[in-house]
């Protein structure tokens, strides 16, 4: 089964009097268990696509199936899709409540989804991304950008998603931590069979993680890349 099956997908935003086409895609499929990369310049529509797939951008047209279910325009996700699809945002400030301590930001999604909350296993998960247990008592503004990003990754993974949408997941991390997080994500995907869609400016990150991908330009698919295509493109581009 395809985890994501887009027959067509268009998103228009208002810009002054005329509509602006942020996304106009056809024929994009991501297989279950696959890591799929979205590459493209700033403003090309990468985050917009992930926001549609996360159920956050609900004004779109086309035909989109996610984990075997058809999405409905202007409808929030219901039922198991709310847990099964998780997104790590480009700006983790946007996803962590500024007035809630990290403990609460991690506990509440589990409780809402009927999963037990066990502080010890949570501390073990934080340790996997190189964070000490004491971050649980802090507020988001008391963490660095890279620490927030890692909290957001723990928060998404702890819900055992079937589809994980990662928007520049390691952009705020230094090279060493970045490699650790990417390896963790890869290992988790291999263990659980979850599907990942990774947005990155950095072709090397995508080539390291992904089986296939597309280059998006001005909301359209410019190029489709298989594993070799990703590697070739990364080799042609210096770090
Ligand atoms: N809510 C919105 N209202 C109007 N225009 C928007 C909105 N969200 C995004 N856009 C526009 O749509 C286009 C695509 O934006 P998007 O955030 O998807 O780009 P991106 O590829 O993620 O870029 P970056 O790499 O900088 O994050 C941009 O021109 C952006 O200005
Ligand atoms: Mg973006």
Domains of the chain: 2-235 (3.40.50.300)
pLDDT, one tens digit per residue, over 60-97 is 999 999 999 999 999 999 889 999 999 998 876 777 99
- Answer yes or no: is pLDDT of 7 > 90: yes
Ligand 1 contacts CB of residue 215 (under 6 A): no
Ligand 1 contacts CB of residue 13 (under 6 A): yes
Q: Whose CA is nearest to atom 17 of ligand 1?
A: 47
pTM for this structure?
Answer: 0.95
Average pLDDT over residues 39-51: 95
pLDDT for 204: 87
5, 130, 215, 231 from 237: Cα distances, Å = 30, 30, 14, 10
d(CA 112, CA 127): 24
When pLDDT is cut at 50, 70 and 90, the band that residue 239 belongs to is low
d(CA 32, CA 78): 21
pLDDT, one tens digit per residue, over 163-214 is 999 999 888 888 888 888 999 999 999 999 999 999 998 888 899 899 999 9
When pLDDT is cut at 50, 70 and 90, the band that residue 103 belongs to is very high
When pLDDT is cut at 50, 70 and 90, the band that residue 238 belongs to is low
pLDDT for 138: 97
Ligand 1 contacts CB of residue 200 (under 6 A): no
Q: Is the dihedral of CA 77, 79, 84, 86 positive or negative?
A: positive
Atom of ligand 1 nearest to the CA of 46: 21
The CA 25 to ligand 2 mean position distance, Å, reads 17
pLDDT for 81: 93
pLDDT for 173: 83
pLDDT for 42: 93
Please state which of the ranges 4-8, 33-37, 113-117, 156-160 shows the lowest mean pLDDT.
113-117
Tell me phi and psi for residue 122, to 5 degrees: -65, -40
Q: Which of 44, 48, 214, 220 to mutate to test the pocket of ligand 1 (most atoms within 8 A of CB)?
A: 48
Average pLDDT over residues 42-71: 96
**Ligand nearest to the Cα of 89, by number:** 2
């Amino acid at each position: 089964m395809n985890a994501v099956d887009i027959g067509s997908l268009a998103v228009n935003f208002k810009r002054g009097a005329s509509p602006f086409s942020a996304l106009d895609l056809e024929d994009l499929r991501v297989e279950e268990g696959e890591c799929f990369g979205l590459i493209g310049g700033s403003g090309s529509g990468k985050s917009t696509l992930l926001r549609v797939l996360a159920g956050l951008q609900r004004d779109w047209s086309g035909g989109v199936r996610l984990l075997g279910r058809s999405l409905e325009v202007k409808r929030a996700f219901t039922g198991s899709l709310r847990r099964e699809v998780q997104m790590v945002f480009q700006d983790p400030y946007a996803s962590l409540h500024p007035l809630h301590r990290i403990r609460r930001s991690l506990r509440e999604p589990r409780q809402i989804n009927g999963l037990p909350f066990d502080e010890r296993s949570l501390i073990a998960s934080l340790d996997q991304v190189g964070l000490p247990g004491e971050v649980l008592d802090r507020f988001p503004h008391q963490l660095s950008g890279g620490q927030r990003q890692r909290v957001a990754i723990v928060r998404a993974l702890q819900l055992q998603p079937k589809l994980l949408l990662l928007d520049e997941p390691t952009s705020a991390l230094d090279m060493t931590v970045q490699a650790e997080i990417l390896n963790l994500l890869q290992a988790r995907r291999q263990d659980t069979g979850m599907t990942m869609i990774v947005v990155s400016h950095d072709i090397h990150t995508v080539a390291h993680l992904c089986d296939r991908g597309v280059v998006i330009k001005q909301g359209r698919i410019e190029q489709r890349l298989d594993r070799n295509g990703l590697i070739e493109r990364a080799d042609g581009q210096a770090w």
